[in-house]
Amino acid sequence: MENVGVMMTTPMSAYLEQQLQQRFTLFKLWESPSPTQSLTRRADLVKAVVGDTKIGADSELIDSLPRLEIVSTYSVGLDKIDLEKCRERGIRVTNTPDVLTEDVSDLAIGLALASLRKICACHAFATTGSWKNGDFQLATKFSGKSIGILGLGRIGSAIAKRAEAFGCNISYHSRTKRQTKNYRYYSNAVDLAANCQILFVACSLTNETRHIVNREVIDALGPRGVLVNIGRGALVDEHELVSALCEGRLGSAGLDVFENEPHVPEPLLELENVVLLPHVGTDTVETSMTMADLVVANLECHFLKKRLLTPVI
C-alpha cells in the first residue's frame, strides 16, 4: 500500500501523520503554498482523503480528485463531508464513533460543573489574591438538577449515565423516542428546555438541526438555566446565545464548540457566566491515538478489500 496516495486536509495528529507515512504515500494539503495547484498536480495520485472537524471533503475537493475512493474522517461528525457527492461517486466514507464517547461526555459534565460551581472564577479568585479580602460568592449545586439532553445517541446516552450518578432527573429530545422508562421524552426542543435546568446539546449537525437551539429554546431554558454545547457550534444560534447571556435571559453556558471556529464571539470573552473551551472534547492522548488507529485501520481494510470497520457509506 506504499504507493497509495493519501491526502490529509489539515494538521490533526502527529501520531496519525506518522502512521499514515509508514503505510502510504502521504500528501499534506496545508504544506502547499497553493492548495489548488497542489491538488491539480497530485489529483491522479490521491485515492484517499483524511479530514477532520475543521476541513473534511467538500464537493470542490471531491471533484478535484478523480481517483478518490475513500474519505476517512478523524471525527465522529460528518458535517464537513459532502455525503451526497460521495454517494454519487461511489466513494466510501468512515468515521470514528464510540472511541470518543467517554471523553466528550466526561467533558460535558465537567462544563456543567464548571459553570454551576464557577470553577474558573474560583481559580482566578485564588490566584489573584482576592481571597485575602474575603470569601468567594456562593455557587450553585449540580447534584439533583433536572437535565435535558438534545440527542440521545452514543454521547447523549453517556452524558445521561453520568448525570444519573449525580442524582439528576433525565429528559431528552431525539429524532425518535427511545425504549427507556428512566428518561422522559419531549417531542420538541422548546418543551425540553422549559422542563430542565441544564440543557446539553449532543445531537448531530444536519440541515434540520442547524440552530435547533434558537431564541425560543433559550428563553424557555431561562435566566437560571445552563446551556452546555459539546456537539457542533452551529447547533446553537450564536447571536441569540450571546444576546441572552449579555441580557441575563440565560444563566450561564459551557461551550466547547462555536459556529466559526477558531473565532469566538468577542462579547463572550468579557462575560463571567461562560466557560469557553477550544473544541477539545476528544483531545486526550488516549483517545486521539485510538481515533488515529481507527482511521488507519479503515484505510487498510478498504485497500485490502476487507470489510470497513466503521462505514458510513
Cell of 34: 497553493
Per-residue pLDDT tens digits of the chain, which is 313 residues long: 889 999 999 999 999 999 999 999 999 999 987 777 778 888 999 999 999 999 999 999 999 999 999 999 999 999 999 999 999 999 999 999 999 999 999 999 999 999 999 999 999 999 999 999 999 999 999 999 999 999 999 999 999 999 999 999 999 999 999 988 899 999 999 999 999 999 999 999 999 999 999 999 999 999 999 999 999 999 999 999 999 999 999 999 999 999 999 999 999 999 999 999 999 999 999 999 999 999 999 999 999 999 999 999 9
Every domain range in the chain assigned CATH 3.40.50.720: 5-99+285-303, 101-276
* Contact yes or no for 200/150 (Cβ under 8 A): yes
Among 92, 232, 238, 259, the one annotated catalytic: 232
Phi, psi of 243 (to 5 degrees): -60, -45
Among 117, 215, 249, 279, the one annotated catalytic: 279
**Residue 60: partners with Cβ closer than 8 Å, 6 or more residues away:** none
Asked if 208 is an active-site residue, the reply is no
Helix axes 119-127, 101-116, angle to 10 degrees: 60
pLDDT (0 to 100) of residue 1: 82
**Residue 176: partners with Cβ closer than 8 Å, 6 or more residues away:** none
Among 60, 84, 88, 261, the one annotated catalytic: 261
Q: What is the pTM of this model?
A: 0.91
pLDDT (0 to 100) of residue 68: 97
pLDDT (0 to 100) of residue 38: 76
* Contact yes or no for 47/71 (Cβ under 8 A): no
The CATH classification of domain 5-99+285-303, taken from the options 3.40.30.10, 2.60.40.10, 3.40.950.10, 3.40.50.720: 3.40.50.720
**Residue 295: partners with Cβ closer than 8 Å, 6 or more residues away:** 16, 50, 72, 73, 74, 94, 96
- Give dist(CA 231, CA 189) in Å, integer: 15
Class of domain 101-276 (CATH, top level): alpha beta
pLDDT (0 to 100) of residue 202: 98
Asked if 261 is an active-site residue, the reply is yes
Asked if 173 is an active-site residue, the reply is no
**Residue 148: partners with Cβ closer than 8 Å, 6 or more residues away:** 171, 172, 173, 186, 192, 193, 195, 196, 198, 199, 200
pLDDT (0 to 100) of residue 135: 97
